[in-house]
Structure 1
Amino acid sequence: MDLRQMEIAVAVAEEGGFTAAAHRLRTVQSTVSTTVRALERDLGTPLFDRTTHRVALTPAGQAFLPAARAALLAADEARATVDPARHRLRGVAVIGTMPGMGSRLHRALARLRREHPCLDIRVRQAPAERLCQAVRESTVDLAIAVLDERQRHGLVTRLLAHEDLVLVTPPLAAPGPVTLAEAAAMPLVDFAPGWAIRAAVDLAFLTARLDRTVTVEADDLTAAAELVRHGLGGCVLPESVAERFPDLPVRRFAEEAPSWQVRLARPGGDVSPAVAAVLRRLG
């Protein structure tokens, strides 16, 4: 058993699935699955119950998770003892995000805070257009958002996450692949303008030159899932987000799947040591 195995197991538990853990760790799903199986063989017991639609911790996994987290934290602290400069990093980093970006960013920032307790990390939420303007005006150091080409103009950007969008449907809806045109004709549960998922879905239908019917707008993932669960419509979500609701059937798109692309945007030129530390943690 090694630290990498523990890191992967913790990611699967926190993300609720192997695909989502792979996205978080910037690796492929097969690597995550292979590593977890090797760890389970080493421990002599399964850590996860795997079904078609969900991954859940076994009792052994529930006991293992806090110990693994403690071991990873201890390893970080041990590294800091031989690199005291890590704890002397000071300064302010202001990060802009869109609503609905999910928890991966929050966990990355939490790890950064543990590594650099003197660093002042501030997070601001706003729609993509306002975030990009704030970056240009230097009131935000960097933005993490779903951005179209126009919004990226004049900024230094890089891709942080890329995955397929899928359609989740009420439990008794018809199974099987669906086209984007068929989804556009359905009643849909969507998110408020300015949300990251809304921006990705808007872009997908706009690129396909399709209008869609939004039955209801939600401002919370759990609320959106509940609306779908009660038959008010389907909901287009990133694949890793759909995995959080294993009781809702997932329909993939029959043609080339629209995608969820999260980008980091910042001004050109040098950045402060505080912002550089954030960029390193985000990968």
Structure 2
Amino acid sequence: MDLRQMEVVVTVAEAGGFTAAAQRLHVVQSAVSSTVLALERELGTSLFDRTTHRVFLTPAGEVFVPAARAALRAAEQARAAVDLVRGKLRGRVTIGMAQGVWADLHRPLAALRAEHPGVTVRLRQASLADVRHGLREGTLDLAVVALDRGQQRGLVTRLLSYEEMVLVSAPPRALTGTGPDGTVTLAGAARLPLVDFTPDWAIRLCVDRAFRAAGVERETALEVDDIVTAAELVRSDLGVCVMPASIAGRFPDLVTHAFARHAPHWKIMMVHPRGDTPPAVTALLGHMA
């Protein structure tokens, strides 16, 4: 058994099939199949159940894959430690980020590349549930998420920003129910046509929580899954949208209204598993402080 065999099995498990794994590994499918078969013969058991369209882990595969991931991470950390001594930091950092969470991630990534060009960064944008799953399974080294709590079991968390949200409307729109200072209430916002993000977006989760806490019922008029589309709908005066102030600031032609009270808010957290932190991850964390 060698590291390459482990890498192939882990890739098949993550990709959900031999063809997809071959594409990720930049090899032909037959090479992936023969590698898996050779390892299964060596172990004396099947790691995958094959079907026409997909493969699934057997009970043996379920226990093998996490152990293989740990071995691959240990080997990568060993190489990174030697490279660090030589003054050439290398390695790979895989980051998970929930949709629409942090608009400034490009800054620490650019700083990391400038300082350590040998470090490869992989970014996976997904739902909060998938990001948490990736942290548990070890497929993510760290994540940027919106959390209610500062601490999570088995995870190290760091606050990146705390931010209140605002209501965004089209320039000519005179909102009903606004105060003399232009502020709006959640109850007033609920009476307007709302542009919402899909339920798996972190923004939507925080907005839903704020309305529930205030005892205000609302109805979504338009549901989208990207910021630009939401802004275009608002710009066309088809609805209003609740979003973080930092994101609203990217659309200076739109009008922002602060909430008079009970403003939706979120905490943007950097999260990574407890334990030994690979040198490449440590280098990135230094730029996220």
Q: TM-score, normalized by length of structure 1?
A: 0.65
Query: Which secondary structure state, in structure 2, belongs to the residue aligned with residue 104 of structure 1?
Result: coil
Residue 124 of structure 1: how far off its partner (Å): 0.8
Could you tell me which residue of structure 1 aligns to residue 202 of structure 2?
196
Could you tell me which residue of structure 1 aligns to residue 97 of structure 2?
97
Distance 1:211 1:278 in 2: 42
Distance 2:151 2:216 in 1: 21
Residue 223 of structure 1: how far off its partner (Å): 1.4
Identify if the C-alpha distance between structure 1 residues 144 and 86 changes in structure 2 by more than 3 Å, giving closer, same or farther: farther
Identify if the C-alpha distance between structure 1 residues 167 and 114 changes in structure 2 by more than 3 Å, giving closer, same or farther: same
- Mapping of residues 115-264 of structure 1, within 5 Å: 115-149=115-149, 152-171=152-171, 172-174=173-175, 176-264=182-270
Conserved in 2, the CA contact under 8 Å of 1:128 and 1:147?
Answer: no
Distance 2:126 2:187 in 1: 30
Question: Are 1:270 and 2:276 an aligned pair?
Answer: yes
Query: Which secondary structure state, in structure 2, belongs to the residue aligned with residue 261 of structure 1?
Result: strand
Q: How many residues align?
A: 200
> Match for 2:134: what amino acid?
A
Residue 87 of structure 1: how far off its partner (Å): 5.8
Could you tell me which residue of structure 2 aligns to residue 52 of structure 1?
none
Query: Which secondary structure state, in structure 2, belongs to the residue aligned with residue 103 of structure 1?
Result: coil
Conserved in 2, the CA contact under 8 Å of 1:178 and 1:254?
Answer: yes
Residue 150 of structure 1: how far off its partner (Å): 11
Select the structure of larger CA radius of gyration: 2
Specify every segment of 5 or more residues in structure 2 that has no aligned partner in the other structure, as ranges. 1-83
Q: Which runs of 4+ in 1 moved over 3 A?
A: 84-87, 148-154
Provide, for residues 19-39 of structure 1, a one-character-per-residue CA deviation record: whole Å limited to 9, x for no partner: xxxxxxxxxxxxxxxxxxxxx
Query: Which secondary structure state, in structure 1, belongs to the residue aligned with residue 204 of structure 2?
Result: helix
Provide, for residues 212-250 of structure 1, a one-character-per-residue CA deviation record: whole Å limited to 9, x for no partner: 211111222221111112222110011111112222211
Distance 1:120 1:128 in 2: 23
> Match for 2:287: what amino acid?
R
Provide, for residues 87-108 of structure 1, a one-character-per-residue CA deviation record: whole Å limited to 9, x for no partner: 6111111110012234310222
Specify every segment of 5 or more residues in structure 1 that has no aligned partner in the other structure, as ranges. 1-83
Could you tell me which residue of structure 2 aligns to residue 64 of structure 1?
none
Could you tell me which residue of structure 2 aligns to residue 33 of structure 1?
none
> Match for 1:173: what amino acid?
A
Query: Which secondary structure state, in structure 1, belongs to the residue aligned with residue 93 of structure 2?
Result: strand
- Mapping of residues 3-42 of structure 1, within 5 Å: none
Residue 116 of structure 1: how far off its partner (Å): 0.4
Residue 183 of structure 1: how far off its partner (Å): 1.4
My pick for the range that moved more, 255-264 or 127-136, is 255-264
Residue 151 of structure 1: how far off its partner (Å): 9.4
Distance 1:118 1:196 in 2: 32
Conserved in 1, the CA contact under 8 Å of 2:150 and 2:159?
Answer: no
Distance 2:231 2:101 in 1: 16
Aligned-residue identity in percent: 50
Could you tell me which residue of structure 1 aligns to residue 44 of structure 2?
none
Conserved in 2, the CA contact under 8 Å of 1:86 and 1:116?
Answer: no
Residue 110 of structure 1: how far off its partner (Å): 1.6
Residue 86 of structure 1: how far off its partner (Å): 9.6
Could you tell me which residue of structure 1 aligns to residue 35 of structure 2?
none
Conserved in 2, the CA contact under 8 Å of 1:144 and 1:264?
Answer: yes
